[in-house]
Structure 1
Amino acid sequence: MPTVVALAAAAVIGILPTHSLLAVWAILGLTLAAIAYASTGVLHHAETLAKRVPDPFGTLILTISIVAMEVILLSAVLFGPGEHASIARDSTMAALALVIGALIPVSLWLSPRSSQLRRSGLATYLFTLVTLGILAFGAVHLLPSLWVAALTALSYAAFLYRQLVTHPHDFASKEVDAPDTSAHSTGVHVGLLLLTAAPIVLLSHHMAGLLTPALASIGAPGAWAGVIVAATVLLPEGLTTLRAAQRGDLQRVSNLTHGALTSVVGLTIPVVLVIGAATGQAIDLTIGAWHAATLALAAVVTAALWAHPRPAHWLAAAHLTVAAAFLAGL
């Protein structure tokens, strides 16, 4: 169903007129909704395949599917109209703000009970995120972009090796996963996954052409294109995270949120850097003192938030404040 709807949306959006700003915003909203809906289809087929393939390959299928969708959208904006050399940085920063500053505290608020959270796994996530952040946004001033891409990807690979091979128990949820009830073969799901991803490619080009005039019409900075991309990519996984929170499965909440962030920094950034080097497109990953400070503060507040069995409301509110301050600085 998502495949058919997204293909139909791509065909219709391609012929709609954009003579007025109202039309531009309406078509942009329709495009983003269609991309988000198609993304749910991609994740559904990826999750089904992940259940059928033993780890680490099952988890890798899901991770690569999410990263591929983000790279498609970022590439469309990067090579679209307007100046968007910093789109990868803006999108990654927005993802960090939205997940750490909003999705995690809201999930902990929704959780009806405190299931066991494996602290060693959480510590690994936070250490990996800090390491990847320093490499991706700090080493770019000292090393060529391809070196930064290689070091970041290798660090992420080392994290995956620990998560999936040497210490999988540090990340294992005690909740039982829903069984695979699909009657379709693995080959059918692979085909449907690729077919569902195709409209995202088409829709991303429409989105790229609409973002610049839409944001300019309200005087919003170009960096908000990254916020829109991040929110669109994170929406399907965010809904899955909130459902896990309502079940009280905090370990799955941690795996979904921190896993998404590590893949964004550890895979998306290297891929975009390689694309930039191959095409001659400038990639700007420079962050200012304000964002560096808010990221450091977010890491401290995150550690404090997860340290409480039932987090205090002031800690969750602090998270939301950090996210708002971060986005305000874009």
Structure 2
Amino acid sequence: MPTLKAVIPRSTLAIPVVALIFYGFASVYGLNHASIASPVGLLLATALLPILIGTVFAAVHHAEVIALRIGEPYGTLVLTIAVTIIEVGLIVSVTSGGASLPALARDTVFSVIMIVGNGLVGLCILLGGFRYSEQGFRVSGANAYLVVLIVLATLTLILPNFIQARPGPFYSSSQLVFVALITLALYGGFLYIQTVRNRDYFLVLDTEGADASPYLPRNRAVTVSATILILSLGVVILLSKMFAAVVHIGTSLVDAPEAVVGVIVALLILSPESVAAVRAARRDQLQKSLNLALGSSLATISLTVPAVAALHLWLQRDLVLGLDGEDTVLLMLTAIVSLLTFGTGRTNILYGFVHLVIFAVFIFLVFVP
């Protein structure tokens, strides 16, 4: 029987506490354009990112412990809501931290799609292909992810450019409310299919060497995880203010495009699930890898867009959603290639390499638009 220490490693307990202490010290010192040039300020700015990433990993781990205990479909909701709180907190902090970035939500959502749909998926398929030549997965599950992702991406990132109510990449207030509700409805329908109606679409294939039966955490472990999860989410939101200041300073110093901030935020929130997805692919569990990768991107769009839309409506700010021309081409190319990649139920290194090429083009165009 696994002990509490085995279910909840000490590192996931210590990191949020260390992060809280770091926040207190950094708050007293203050991180701004002037202080960051000093040795202490530079040290604090350098330490901020790994501490923030560690806290995000801790939050996701404790959300997974709770999810394992309460089962589906509520377990999936706990995990997705935790990740959404982190993402929305980062977006709000960056946009309210002195930087005028009305398109940050759009850039972050688009970056999530490109990072997951090309970077992460391509890496998982490539690593699995090198190790096992070919890997299999359930076409029905992959198609379920793709059909919802393509519709959501089109409604939130492409359609705003062609709306007559307002010129530019915007929805009117009533349209934004409608799209937010439709987004939530689509995700609710997908969750019903994934966790209740057609769970077999997403189960690990018999040939993948399924994991051993998961240990069901006891109430004590769940209580500890719930406490640390709340602490971790709170600390992430606090640190995101400092993260916003450091990102603003860094991007202004190197004169980086605004879209770079969206990529940074997306990489930060996707890091825990990305590590788990790559590990699953290396263990010849491509179905599990796809569930983690595609599921994280679907949850990001489905919950982040309504949350950010509600915030912008409350603050009476414009929310830029429509993509530029080159990004629209990349999004459509990703959708077409993904349909081909996941159309047969088998993958090899060629598919992974093609997705990574598209990802490389995306990263290059972020810095050289």
TM-score between both structures, scaled by the size of structure 1: 0.92
3-state secondary structure, aligned to 1:248? coil
Q: 1:140 aligns with which of 142, 160, 176?
A: 160
Give me the whole-angstrom Cα distance separating, in 1, the residues matched to 2:54 and 2:268: 10
**Equivalent in the alignment of 1:121:** 141
Asked if 2 retains the 8 angstrom alpha-carbon contact of 1:140 and 1:148, the reply is: no
Which of 119, 142, 149 is the equivalent residue of 1:102? Answer: 119
CA distance in 2: counterparts of 1:318 and 1:247, whole angstroms = 22
Map 1:240-319 → 2, pairs under 5 A? 240-306=276-342, 307=344, 309-313=346-350, 315-319=351-355
The 1:2–1:20 alpha-carbon spacing in structure 2 relative to 1, beyond 3 Å, is closer
Report the alpha carbon displacement of residue 98 of structure 1 after superposing the two structures with TM.
1.4
- With over 3 angstroms needed to count, the CA separation of the structure-2 counterparts of 1:101 and 1:116, relative to structure 1, is closer
- Cα distance in 2 between the residues matched to 1:110 and 1:181: 32
Match of 2:202 in 1: 171
Q: What's the RMSD between the two structures over aligned residues?
A: 2.1
Quick one: distance in 2 between partners of 1:20 and 1:12?
13
- Determine whether 1:161 maps to 2:178: no
2:103 is aligned to 86
Q: Are residue 52 (structure 1) and residue 69 (structure 2) matched?
A: yes
Amino acid corresponding to residue 68 of structure 1 in structure 2: I
Whole-Å separation in 2 of the counterparts to 1:208 and 1:180: 38
- 1:7-46 equivalent positions in 2, closer than 5 A: 7-14=20-27, 15=29, 18=32, 19=34, 27-46=44-63
Q: Which residues of structure 1 form unaligned runs of 5+?
A: none
Match of 2:7 in 1: none
Letter in 2 for 1:328: F
Q: 281-290 or 222-231, which moves further after superposition? A: 281-290
1:204 aligns with 2:256: no
Q: Work out whether residues 312 and 318 of structure 2, in 8 Å CA contact, stay in contact via their aligned partners in 1.
A: yes
Secondary structure, aligned partner of 1:66:
helix
Q: Partners in 1 of 2:183 and 2:19 — Cα distance? A: 34
**SS of the counterpart of 1:317?**
helix
TM-score by length of 2: 0.83
Given that 1:25 and 1:214 are in contact with CA atoms closer than 8 Å, whether structure 2 keeps it comes out as no
1:230-254 deviations in whole A, cap 9, x for unaligned?
1111111111111111211111111
Structure 1 counterpart of 2:256, which letter?
A: A
Change (3 A) 1:244 1:62: same
- Number of positions where the alignment pairs a residue of Structure 1 with one of Structure 2: 329
Deviation at 1:178, TM superposition (A): 3.7
Q: For 1:287, what is the secondary structure of its paired residue? A: coil
Three-state SS of the structure 2 residue aligned to 1:55 is coil
Q: Provide the residue aligned with 2:255 in structure 1.
A: 219
CA distance in 1, matches of 2:37, 2:116: 30
Counterpart CA distance in 2 for 1:44 and 1:155 is 27
Q: Distance in 1 between matches of 2:81 and 2:109?
A: 16
Tell me how far apart the structure 2 counterparts of residues 269 and 36 of structure 1 sit (CA, whole Å).
Answer: 23
In 1, the alpha carbon distance for the partners of 2:188 and 2:146 equals 16
- How far, CA to CA, are the matches of 1:28 and 1:252 in structure 2? 36
Q: Percent identity?
A: 27
Q: Distance in 2 between matches of 1:159 and 1:146?
A: 20
C-alpha distance in 2 between matches for 1:282 and 1:208: 20
- Structure 2: runs of 5 or more not aligned: 1-13, 164-170
CA distance in 2, matches of 1:16, 1:288: 37
Q: Distance in 1 between matches of 2:337 and 2:259?
A: 25
Q: Is the CA contact 2:136–2:345 (under 8 Å) kept in the aligned structure 1?
A: no
- Whether contact under 8 Å (2:114, 2:359) holds in the other structure is yes
